[in-house]
Chains A and B, each alone.
Chain A
Amino acid sequence: MLALGRLLVIGFLALSVVYICLSLYSRAVRKDKLEAEWDEEIREGDRDAFIKAGLEDYDTSLRKKLILGVYVVPLSLMTAIIYFTNFH
């Protein structure tokens, strides 16, 4: 069980790095898109407020929660492999 603990701890740390990078990247992409939308289509009112509101929407969106798949997918994959290798 020590080996399992080691795998889970190292896996969690590695996936956390991926999760943080992906979160930052996804938010930056969203920000770029909001900026482009304002520059090309809206062009009136407060640009910063528009972007801020858009990012707040993003923070509570499903898309952001989907990034948690970084943890869920490998764990389910591991469970599936254990099942198919040993008990199928």
Chain B
Amino acid sequence: MGYIKWALILIFWVSVASFLHYTLPQHDVARITDTEVRRIDPGENRWFWASADAGSDGTLSNRDVFFISAVLSDGDVMVYRNEDTSWGWPPYFKFDTSNLQAEAADLRSTSANPQWVVIRHYGWRNEFFTIFPNAISVRAVDGPEQRIIPWINIVILTVLFAFFWAIFVRWRRFRAARIDPVLEDVEESFDVVGDGIARRGSRFKKWIGGSK
């Protein structure tokens, strides 16, 4: 039983962590090498694609999506999709996809003459499911050693922690005040009933014994 309990706890916390890691914004220092449009047909990976542009028909099974190819400051390549999140999840309320694509195209550069940018994005790149992080914004920076302090994440995680802590503390207080006494009551009455049964049992035994 202990293993199952720990496995469930582990699964829960891993899910929470991956959910936050997927949804919260992250920053990459990169160099944009190309911007393009590809037609995509979401299949098993449809969860990892956002919606069609706000206002357009979202019921069609495939559509064109903007892509931004980049080289990260450590030399790895990364490909971002550039999609509206519209009014849906995650709540970035991004409607300026086409404008962002224009900005990204403007900041394109070659390795000979690099123009470094900070790309804010959420999501994961995974080759096995063909999923891409969604770019939220780009801004030009001076060099690849740009230091980024994730203020938004610090604020969100602090508020989230405070919120759940507040609920947890109140729940514990409520439990101590209202539920535990009732459970103890029930336990006591079980004990009383148990004693009664034991007494009656012994009387029964005595009676049996006496009749012999």
- A interface residues, Cβ below 8 angstroms from B: 1, 3-4, 6-7, 78, 81-82, 85-87
- Bound-complex Cα distance A78 to B89 (A): 12
Chain A residues with Cβ below 8 Å from B86 are 3
Quick check: is B96 within 8 A (CB to CB) of the other chain? yes
B54 and A85 contacting across the interface, CB-CB below 8 Å: no
Interface size class of B (residues with CB under 8 A): 10 to 19
Contact of A81 among B51, B55, B88, B91 (CB under 8 A): B91
B87 and A85 contacting across the interface, CB-CB below 8 Å: no
- Bound-complex Cα distance A1 to B91 (A): 16
Chain A residues with Cβ below 8 Å from B137 are 85
Q: What distance in Å separates the Cβ of B133 from its nearest Cβ neighbour in chain A?
A: 16
A7 and B87 contacting across the interface, CB-CB below 8 Å: yes
- Bound-complex Cα distance A4 to B92 (A): 14
Quick check: is B93 within 8 A (CB to CB) of the other chain? yes
Scoring B residues 90 to 106 as 1 if CB is less than 8 Å from chain A, else 0, what string do you get?
Answer: 01111110010000000
- Bound-complex Cα distance A15 to B129 (A): 35
A4 and B95 contacting across the interface, CB-CB below 8 Å: no
Contact of A85 among B51, B55, B92 (CB under 8 A): B92
B87 and A81 contacting across the interface, CB-CB below 8 Å: no
Chain B residues with Cβ below 8 Å from A1 are 55
Contact of B96 among A3, A78, A86 (CB under 8 A): A86
Q: What distance in Å separates the Cβ of A21 from its nearest Cβ neighbour in chain B?
A: 11
CB-defined A-B contacts under 8 Å, sample of 20: A1-B55, A3-B51, A3-B54, A3-B87, A3-B88, A4-B87, A6-B87, A7-B88, A78-B93, A81-B92, A81-B93, A82-B95, A85-B94, A85-B95, A85-B96, A85-B136, A85-B137, A86-B93, A86-B95, A87-B96
Q: What distance in Å separates the Cβ of A10 from its nearest Cβ neighbour in chain B?
A: 10
Residue in chain B with minimal CB distance to A86? B96
Chain A residues with Cβ below 8 Å from B93 are 78, 81-82, 85-86
Chain B residues with Cβ below 8 Å from A86 are 93-96, 99
A78 and B91 contacting across the interface, CB-CB below 8 Å: yes
Chain B residues with Cβ below 8 Å from A82 are 93, 95
Residue in chain A with minimal CB distance to B58? A3
Shortest Cβ-Cβ A-B pairs, 5 listed: A3-B87, A86-B96, A7-B87, A82-B93, A4-B87
Q: What distance in Å separates the Cβ of A12 from its nearest Cβ neighbour in chain B?
A: 14
Q: What distance in Å separates the Cβ of A37 from its nearest Cβ neighbour in chain B?
A: 19
Residue in chain A with minimal CB distance to B86? A3
Chain B residues with Cβ below 8 Å from A81 are 91-93
Chain A residues with Cβ below 8 Å from B91 are 78, 81
Chain A residues with Cβ below 8 Å from B95 are 82, 85-86
Chain B residues with Cβ below 8 Å from A85 are 92-96, 136-137
Q: What distance in Å separates the Cβ of A65 from its nearest Cβ neighbour in chain B?
A: 21
